[in-house]
């Protein structure tokens, strides 16, 4: 018996992969990563063909010390035409830091990201304010960013479940998504912060979202804690949403989502998409090399299954016969 409508006909021909490893990944590391390592990672990711590499956050270093040095990172990375390097901005203080960076470096920032949540408890833990208070802050931040000619991307966290409140109503996710779009976000990324979603809940939520919001203004942000990241990505693509966030080597998590692991690995997403004949503009082998670089710097094995398979293949092909 079939339990879901086959939506394969709707799959997009090309997908934009938003690399979030240097921000979402590294923000969750126990120690802080030197600026030079962050820069080298971002440069490798951009030269692998990723057109968006989230590169840091102008958040409070008291709360997320790993993102300190974001201005230095932005000043040192190699700029490439067609590649954007957005950063998270939580409030006007972060926006002022962003403006000061732009003025001091003479390099246009181009894009920032603001982040809300679909549960009050998560909003309070993550940003010390209610959803309404956060959106009021972001109204001001977005207005100032748009006045600079920057693009603003939005996130809705805990869209599939909250580590503090449990179940989250889909209507709540839709409401926050709409409000972020109304503020002027060009796109809202739907965050499965805890990785609790499955293809079933992704279909249910995107069925609702797509009925109200154009697919081109949505993206998915799937943490892979429960091993569902690829399945969830595919389920979302079946709704015609063609932007997915991913983290090289599967780095990361969220400091305010206990036990959450990294986003679905970029290498795994790109391997799946290329295998399906979907274009990404990403060079898989260069991406694997970027993942090896950061995994070695962190002293651990890559979390990407596709990268591990490629590395094993490379080893076999180099072994004397
Ligand atoms: P607060 O403590 O409530 O703010 O933090 P405050 O206004 O009371 O200020 C307290 C201190 O922080 C002051 O310094 C401020 O100057 C300073 P003091 O006087 O004590 O020395 N401060 C700042 N410093 C630098 N940059 C700033 C800034 N703002 C205040 N922008 C705040 C409120 C939102 C700032 C804080 O809670 C914060 O920075 N939170 C960061 C949250 C964060 O980065 N979370 C992880 C990213 S979101 C995520 O991972 C989810 C996502 O991936 C999607 C998903 O997976 O769901 C996007
Ligand atoms: Mg995240």
- Give the tens place of pLDDT for each residue, 265-288: 999 999 999 999 999 999 999 999
Burial 184-203 (b: 16+ CB within 10 A, else e): bbebbbbbbbbbbbbbebbb
Distance CA 321, CA 319 (A): 6
CATH code of 13's domain: 3.20.20.70
DSSP tag of 36: H
Q: 244, 227, 226: which is closest to 19 by C-alpha?
A: 244
Look at the chain and report how many structural domains it folds into.
Answer: 1
Q: Which ligand is nearest to the CA of 96?
A: 1
Give me the mean pLDDT over the 203-217 stretch: 97
H/E segment holding residue 125? helix 120-127
Question: Cα 4 vs. chain centroid, distance in angstroms?
Answer: 28
Please tell me the number of Cα atoms within 13 Å of 215 on its side-chain side: 16
Whether 8 shows a pLDDT value over 70: the answer reads no
Closest-approaching ligand to the CA atom of 156: 1
Predicted confidence band at 4 (pLDDT cuts at 50, 70, 90)?
A: very low
pLDDT at site 321: 73
Contact 304, 293 (CB under 8 A): no
Model pLDDT, residue 258: 79
Residue 284 pLDDT: 98
- The whole-angstrom separation of Cα 12 and Cα 10 is 6
Give distance in angstroms: CA of 20 to centre of ligand 2: 8
pLDDT band at 253 (very low <50, low <70, confident <90, very high): low
118 pLDDT more than 90: yes
* Residue whose CA is at the smallest distance from ligand 1 atom 22: 60
What does the pLDDT look like over 135-150, one tens digit per residue?
Answer: 999 999 999 999 999 9
Ligand 2: centre distance to CA 208 (Å): 22
Is 129 catalytic? The answer is: no
Rounded Cα–Cα distance for residues 287 and 266 (Å): 8
Q: Which domain holds residue 110?
A: 3-318
Mean pLDDT confidence for 56-70:
96
Query: Ligand 1: which of 28, 59, 194 to mutate, judged by most atoms within 8 Å of the beta carbon?
Result: 59
Residue 7: pLDDT band (50, 70, 90) is low
Lowest mean pLDDT among 9-13, 78-82, 136-140, 180-184: 9-13
Report DSSP state, residue 59: S
Ligand 1 contacts (CB < 6 A) are 24, 27, 57-60, 62-64, 88, 90-91, 93-94, 97, 115, 126-128, 155, 157, 191, 193, 221, 223, 254-256
What span, in angstroms and rounded, lies between the C-alpha atoms of 184 and 206?
21
Query: Where are any strands of DSSP class E within the chain?
Result: 16-19, 52-53, 56-57, 87-88, 111-117, 151-157, 187-192, 218-222, 243-246
Confidence of residue 254 (pLDDT cuts 50, 70, 90): low
d(CA 169, CA 308): 37
Q: Is 84 exposed, middle or buried (0-12, 13-18, 19+ CB in 10 A)?
A: buried
CA 100 to chain centre: 25
């Amino acid at each position: 018996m079939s339990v879901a409508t086959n939506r394969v006909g709707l799959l997009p021909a090309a997908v934009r992969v938003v690399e979030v490893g240097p921000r979402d990944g590294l923000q969750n590391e126990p120690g802080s990563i030197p600026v030079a390592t962050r820069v080298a990672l971002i440069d490798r990711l951009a030269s692998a063909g990723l057109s968006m590499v989230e590169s840091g956050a102008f958040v409070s270093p008291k709360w997320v010390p790993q993102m300190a040095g974001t201005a230095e990172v932005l000043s040192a990375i190699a700029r490439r035409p067609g590649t954007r390097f957005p950063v998270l901005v939580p409030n006007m203080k972060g926006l002022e830091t962003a403006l000061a960076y732009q003025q001091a470096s003479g390099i246009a920032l181009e894009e920032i990201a603001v982040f809300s949540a679909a549960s009050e408890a998560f909003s309070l833990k993550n940003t010390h304010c209610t959803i309404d208070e956060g959106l009021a802050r972001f109204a001001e931040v977005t207005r100032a960013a748009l006045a600079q000619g920057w693009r603003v991307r939005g996130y809705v966290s805990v869209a599939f479940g909250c580590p503090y409140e449990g179940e989250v109503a889909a209507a709540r996710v839709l409401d926050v998504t709409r409000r972020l779009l109304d503020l002027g976000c060009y796109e809202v990324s739907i965050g499965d912060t805890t990785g609790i979603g499955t293809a079933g809940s992704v279909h249910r939520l995107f069925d609702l979202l797509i009925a109200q919001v154009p697919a081109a203004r949505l993206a998915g942000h799937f943490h892979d804690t429960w091993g569902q990241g690829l399945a969830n990505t595919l389920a979302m693509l079946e709704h015609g949403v063609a932007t997915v966030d991913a983290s090289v080597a599967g780095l990361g998590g969220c400091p305010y989502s206990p036990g959450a692991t990294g986003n679905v690995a970029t290498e795994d997403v790109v391997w799946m998409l290329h295998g399906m004949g979907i274009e990404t503009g990403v060079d898989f082998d260069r991406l694997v090399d970027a993942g090896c670089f950061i995994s070695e710097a962190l002293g651990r094995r890559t979390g990407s299954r596709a990268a591990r398979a490629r590395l094993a293949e490379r080893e076999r092909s180099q072994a004397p016969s």
